[in-house]
């Protein structure tokens, strides 16, 4: 944990690499403060000097570019609120257990990002006709194991050209109105709205326009769905966010005072927008529509709330499920995959309502 | 962990009280060796001196009895193989998380017990006409918390009279042909076939025949099913074993050599006998009947096995489910209860079959 990140509220899952998640009650606000925002690193956090930093844009382009930090921030900037969720979020709750960092439900957050549109840079670089993908290369590198052998490699991920040209994709240098911190990719990271976090490459230093699909380690062997019995040829890449919701209040195990109580949380999707959130206070027997709070913001999560009259003493299982405008609903149970990616199973917490006389 | 118990193979979940479970691969034999047999204590393990030990049989009886250890072992003895499963076994896999010691699937074992029939003692004591239950009192005692207050109490559980008179119920002083060890209830414990382990009271020192139902702490507030939303009046006591099965081979995460492989495990029920065990090697899409090995022994578990032709490389989810002669099958998912008792959800493991060229 680096001093500049604060992060006292985060739960550490791994020191090397630095992986931390947010306890659900700390995800109470729409904007997640930076010191409460989850961290997922693959390798040691690189120390990148802003004054020496260069971004190169190369490959299938007419004009190769090299930008300094000063060059980048002097360009027109865009400001947007985008949520990120680690593809391994909720992995701890996969059955049978899945391989990887054991995130519970807190590897997710919603922040304000300021930066330059990737589409603008690509236009300026004059992408050639044969281009199909755009590769983002981070400054982080280290060892990964594959079939018993150690591989030395850096973190790289590519996007289909059409997705890279989405005006929402930013080269962000500010997070929540402050310069990016080292843990979050300083000085510059990619932000890809609607995709799982692995696409939002941190410590960005190279963009390569490709004429054929990229098949590197983090594209082809990690961040792929490996279902039961599937042959390697049928593995699919992890891409856009699934429809999902979490309960941030009450927390699991909470003693809820008898009377009216506001259950609340967040919901999101990578396909359109959140259309409906339903809550059950009886373990899933009956469901009621929650209220969607505020306006829908593309790329951001949505707050929802539901008033519950906790009038009877006992133990109660509260569940939430979201449906998006593409008609997708959270599954229960979720189909298994080896690394437990994209687990969007229905979130449930159990709470106790004490007898009134006990208070 | 006491020296006399060995127990190097057990996984400790709590030192105080002593709670340990068995890793599933160590449950490979029909008889579970004593040093691999799970331990569930509620309080510090009492040191009971065999030479000073007395068992009293009192309450609604015509003849109050007091037996020394020598008196007990001089009586005709019975020898039987009985499995015990902690009511909290598999609690770790309950969603949302359940309250209590976080046992995975290994709080279960099958042992040979030697002792005196409780029915014989009750007959000799001349149970009176108004008797309804038989209370077993252990020598163990300590503190439990209830609604924020500390209670000082001992471990006590009762059985309906008809169940106590079952000829299978033993006052056991031998386990696997050796004197009982302290962790398993020395010098004498009750063994109640077909019931969850909480009925098999350890360090037994008093038997009380009751004229009305017992409502003590471990009968009425612990070892009760508390479903979502249920009022206290509707809580039900945990009694007999559910139908259940576990995979002991392969273990979760195992790399299985390509070719024919024998999947095996155990199955049991508290209602009749195991009638059928089915195995799926494709994550639950298709199921095949497993072979039930050996004869069915009342009160004991049953070995099952299934030959799998692991001919294709990949990751595979293997599942097992049992059905008993009462027609009950393991549920998936399992209805939630606050303390996660009697979780008999379908057991699943994921394994990898490597490509042949890798070996």
ipTM reported for the complex, 2 dp? 0.86
Contact B228 A282 (CB under 8 A): yes
Name the domain boundary from A207, A237, A267. A237
A228 has a chain B CB within 8 A of its CB:
yes
Domain of B75? 3-237
Q: What is the mean pLDDT of residues B188-213?
A: 98
Contact B228 A95 (CB under 8 A): no
Same domain, A279 and A154: no
Same domain, A155 and A261: no
Asked if residue A357 has pLDDT above 80, the reply is: no
Contact B228 A338 (CB under 8 A): no
Same domain, A70 and A99: yes
- Alpha carbons A149 and A269: distance in angstroms, whole number: 37
Give chain A's domain count. 2
Asked if residue B42 has pLDDT above 70, the reply is: yes
A231 has a chain B CB within 8 A of its CB:
yes
Same domain, A21 and A106: yes
Cβ neighbours of residue A33 closer than 8 Å, sequence gap 6 or more: A176
- Name residue, tokens 């037996």: B67
Asked if residue A3 has pLDDT above 60, the reply is: no
Beta strands in B76-169 (DSSP E): 78-85, 108-117, 133-146, 149-160
pLDDT recorded at residue A260: 96
- Alpha carbons B208 and B133: distance in angstroms, whole number: 8
The secondary element (H helix, E strand) that includes residue A113 is: strand A108-117
CB contacts under 8 A, B 87-106 vs A, are 93, 95-99
Collapsed DSSP state (helix, strand, coil) of residue B294:
coil
Q: What is the CATH number of the domain that holds B309?
A: 2.60.40.650
Cβ neighbours of residue A305 closer than 8 Å, sequence gap 6 or more: A262, A263, A264, A265, A290, A291, A293
Dump the DSSP string for A33-58: PGGGS-EE-SSPPP---TTT-EEEEE
Asked if residue B1 has pLDDT above 80, the reply is: no
Tokens standing for residue B148: 């924020």
Cβ neighbours of residue A334 closer than 8 Å, sequence gap 6 or more: A94, A343, A344, A345
Same domain, A26 and A69: yes
Neighbours of B130 (CB within 10 A): 10
pLDDT recorded at residue A4: 42
Asked if residue A337 has pLDDT above 60, the reply is: yes
B349 has a chain A CB within 8 A of its CB:
yes
Nearest CA in chain B to A234: B314
Contact A230 B348 (CB under 8 A): no
Q: Measured between alpha carbons, how far is residue A96 from residues A194, B10, B76, B103 in Å?
A: 28, 21, 47, 15
Q: What is the mean pLDDT of chain B?
A: 95
pLDDT recorded at residue A233: 87
Q: Measured between alpha carbons, how far is residue B250 from residues A29, A336, B120, B255, B263 in Å?
A: 45, 18, 43, 9, 6
Name the strands in the sheet holding B65-68, side by side, starting at the edge strand that comes first in the sequence. B65-68, B54-59, B204-210, B133-146, B149-160
Query: Residues of B with CB below 8 A from A97's CB?
Result: 252-253, 350
pLDDT recorded at residue B359: 44
Same domain, A265 and A333: yes
pLDDT recorded at residue B8: 54
Name the domain boundary from B217, B237, B257. B237
Are the C-beta atoms of B27 and B95 separated by less than 8 Å?
no
A283 has a chain B CB within 8 A of its CB:
yes
- Name residue, tokens 């109640």: B192
- Burial call A211-223: b when 16+ CB within 10 Å, e when fewer: eeebebbbbebbb
Same domain, A213 and A268: no
Same domain, A40 and A122: yes
Place A332 in a pLDDT band, splitting at 50, 70 and 90.
confident
pLDDT recorded at residue A148: 84
Are the C-beta atoms of B336 and A283 separated by less than 8 Å?
yes
Percent of chain B with pLDDT over 90: 92
Residue A74: exposure state from Cβ atoms within 10 A (0-12, 13-18, ≥19): exposed
pLDDT recorded at residue B292: 98
Name the domain boundary from B188, B205, B237. B237
Asked if residue A206 has pLDDT above 80, the reply is: yes
Contact A336 B349 (CB under 8 A): no
Same domain, A227 and A150: yes
Same domain, A281 and A330: yes
Give the residue among B186, B202, B156, B200 at the shortest CA–CA distance from B299: B200
- Alpha carbons A86 and A90: distance in angstroms, whole number: 9
Mutate to test the interface with B, among A229, A250, A345 (most CBs of B within 10 A): A229
């Amino acid at each position: 944990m680096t001093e500049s990140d604060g992060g006292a509220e985060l739960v550490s899952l791994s020191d090397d690499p630095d992986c931390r998640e947010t306890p659900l009650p700390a995800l109470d606000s729409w904007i997640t403060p930076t010191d409460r925002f989850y961290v997922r690193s693959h390798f040691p956090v690189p120390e990148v000097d802003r004054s020496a930093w260069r971004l190169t844009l190369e490959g299938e382009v007419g004009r190769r570019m090299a930008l300094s930090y000063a060059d980048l921030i002097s360009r027109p900037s865009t400001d947007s609120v985008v949520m990120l969720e680690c593809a391994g979020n909720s992995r701890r709750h996969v059955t049978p257990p899945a391989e990887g960092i054991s995130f519970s439900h807190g590897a997710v957050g919603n922040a304000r990002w300021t930066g330059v549109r990737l589409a603008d840079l690509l236009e300026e670089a004059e992408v050639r006709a044969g281009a199909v993908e755009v590769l983002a290369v981070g400054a982080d590198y280290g060892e990964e194991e594959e079939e018993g052998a150690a591989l030395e490699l850096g973190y790289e991920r590519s996007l289909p050209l059409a997705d890279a040209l989405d005006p929402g994709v930013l080269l962000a240098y500010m997070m929540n109105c402050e310069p990016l911190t080292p843990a979050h990719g300083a000085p510059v990271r990619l932000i890809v709205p609607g995709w799982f976090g692995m696409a939002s490459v941190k410590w960005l230093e190279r963009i390569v326009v490709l004429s054929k699909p990229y098949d590197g380690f983090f594209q082809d062997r990690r961040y792929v769905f490996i279902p039961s019995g599937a042959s390697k040829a049928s593995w699919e890449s992890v891409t856009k966010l699934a429809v999902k919701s979490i309960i941030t209040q009450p927390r699991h195990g909470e003693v809820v005072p008898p009377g009216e109580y506001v259950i609340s949380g967040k919901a999101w999707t990578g396909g359109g927008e959140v259309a409906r959130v339903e809550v059950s206070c009886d373990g899933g027997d009956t469901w009621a529509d929650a209220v969607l709070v505020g306006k829908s913001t593309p790329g951001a999560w949505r707050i929802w709330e539901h008033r519950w009259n906790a009038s009877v003493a006992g133990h109660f299982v509260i569940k939430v499920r979201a449906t998006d405008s593409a008609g997708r609903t959270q599954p229960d149970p979720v189909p298994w995959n080896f690394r437990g990616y994209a687990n969007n199973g229905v979130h449930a917490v159990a709470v106790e309502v004490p007898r009134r006389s006990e208070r």
